[in-house]
Homo-oligomer: A and B are copies of this chain.
């Protein structure tokens, strides 16, 4: 089992050296307290908790899984105690509003913590992770009374939260959902229906569970315009806000799944459960988008997490495992064979994981800083710009990084050869755990339609132009920088190509809407590779500056440049295929009648 070690040097490189996060925070009113020292201390403490408390529970959590009996879910040994420590340390309150008990720190710092706890133990991290989305929703749309009753308890970590959307017949297509909410005389509602795939829907770690539930009012219009949002607690609070009467909500079963065994994926039955409307009636889906954006960035981190964990495990193995000789001459002549890290294809698998983890980290932090700006920038234009960029980058980060995270996890397994398939090494768990990330919070295919259809084409390319302008400006500013030339030339070309491809698809889509769908996943992946190329160029720039100015960490910065080179020469060329396939048109997908797919 790989023993997780938080890559603090890497994290600080991105936060402090590439993005100058201190300056970013100082410009945002309310975040002035997030100084470099605070950032340092939080990383340090988060690393300790992740490495010492929850990392060691990752493999045992997978092996034990969650158990269900008579409506009660028991989490794996140690999970509950770890959660108590987490709450005692005040972690749940970090990025939330001081008026409800939060520490008021930036969302981007929360993301840094999420990275560490998620990499150490993704299953465990989902219990507080789901709460975070519930908090965001109540913070944004709840009444003061709802905030007082529920948000304070979620922020303290005393209670946890969930997100109850999916029903067995609808996941993507929420307009079809059937759970009903009928008004009671006291202003509350009675909810009846069954939700599935409710992560952390039932467990033994906290005193209460606050479900955020999508349901229909009796007179609601059909489809997505008739969905409302409700708070449905497992235990109804009494007048003092303490848990009292058990509500009519119960876990019916938990799923047997490929991975994330330590997290309970529940069927939740609402049987006349008392709920409280949150936000305006029939506007539930809109309110829920608050939740979804946070959740999608949270899931993007999962790509980074599995890439990092796989990298750490397979790097250690590749240095240790002796097998065959280097083709270019013995590298370990005293030993019976060379360590497998001498073999080019092993290095390729390691460097791919490294480039995904480090590039993915930069993308997650970059996106999270946009969340900070979208909510806290001093002027409206800045907030709007940040929001537009965030809308563009969220589906890219979610889908692209989880696809690459799964790829990386598989490389990690592959480095181990046959041993990678065996449970004790932990690499196959890393693959199984990562596989869910391309499915939940909107599949890769749904993210791709969101990106190309809604975010790019529906804005007439405005959001994309905002981002390509940033890249263009960077390329122009650095055009005199000789050391960066191998990066800037392809980056500038693809940045231009990105716009051209968008135009071409947009033109075709005017004649046939299926052209959008047919290009969408290739377009999203292409966008991801160009976005990561921009961030790798920025990292290369920073590393080169440090080397030019003299540093006692030359090795670190040289490794960064080397990884950037690897990304540009070995991964970015994937765009060449994507350009061809996304331009090949919808006919090759649509011409075959559904009945003729098999005989």
Contacts and interface: CB of A to CB of B under 8 A. Distances in A.
A446 to B, nearest CB: 9
Contact of A518 (B258, B348, B576): B348
A345 B445 CA distance: 7
Given A414-B443, A580-B573, A586 B344 contact: yes
Interface in A432-463: 432, 435-436, 438-440, 443-445, 448-449, 453
A348 B176 contact: no
B256 A590 contact: no
B351 A559 contact: no
B559 A592 contact: yes
Nearest to A349: B445
Interface stretch (A47-55, A72-80, A322-330, A380-388): A322-330
A93 to B, nearest CB: 31
Given A257-B422, A424-B256, A591-B562, A599 B348 contact: no
A586 B345 CA distance: 10
Interface in A326-371: 326-329, 336-337, 339, 341-348, 350-351, 354
A64 interface: no
A218 interface: no
A512 interface: yes
A597 to B, nearest CB: 5
Contacts of A347: 589-590, 592
A383 B315 CA distance: 45
Given A351-B592, A590-B344, A428 B559 contact: no
A390 interface: no
Given A327-B514, A327-B516, A599-B9, A258 B432 contact: yes
Contacts of A420: 439
Nearest to A514: B328
A134 B336 CA distance: 30
A588 B559 contact: no
A581 B576 CA distance: 11
B573 A588 contact: no
Interface in A550-570: 555-556, 558-559, 562-563, 565-566, 569-570
Contacts of A574: 577
B597 A350 contact: yes
A92 B259 CA distance: 37
A25 interface: no
A575 to B, nearest CB: 8
B576 A588 contact: no
Given A171-B418, A428-B257, A589-B344, A558 B337 contact: no
Contacts of A414: 438-439, 443-445
A344 B518 contact: yes
A514 B344 contact: yes
Interface SS of chain A = helix
A581 B588 contact: no
Interface residues of A, number: 104
Nearest to A350: B597
Contacts of A9: 599
A30 interface: no
Contact of A570 (B445, B569, B581, B596): B581
Given A258-B431, A589-B351, A596-B558, A445 B413 contact: no
A86 interface: no
A517 B573 contact: no
Contacts of A421: 257-259, 435-436, 439
A589 to B, nearest CB: 5
A480 interface: no
A573 B574 CA distance: 10
Q: Which of A329, A438, A598 has the most CB of B within 10 A?
A: A598
A255 interface: yes
A175 to B, nearest CB: 8
A503 to B, nearest CB: 19
A7 interface: yes
Q: Which of A171, A323, A518, A592 has the most CB of B within 10 A?
A: A592
The 8 A-B residue pairs with the shortest CB-CB distance, nearest first, are A344-B517, A258-B428, A573-B580, A327-B513, A344-B518, A256-B423, A345-B445, A576-B576
Given A257-B423, A413-B435, A414-B443, 9 more contacts: A171-B323, A171-B417, A257-B428, A345-B445, A420-B439, A558-B596, A562-B591, A566-B588, A569-B588
Interface of A: 7, 9-10, 166, 169-173, 176, 197, 255-259, 311-312, 315, 319, 322-324, 326-329, 336-337, 339, 341-348, 350-351, 354, 410, 413-414, 417-424, 428, 431-432, 435-436, 438-440, 443-445, 448-449, 453, 512-514, 516-518, 520-521, 555-556, 558-559, 562-563, 565-566, 569-570, 573-577, 580-581, 584-586, 588-592, 594, 596-599
16 contacts: A255-B422, A255-B423, A257-B428, A327-B517, A344-B520, A345-B445, A345-B517, A347-B590, A350-B597, A414-B445, A432-B432, A562-B588, A562-B592, A565-B588, A570-B588, A576-B580
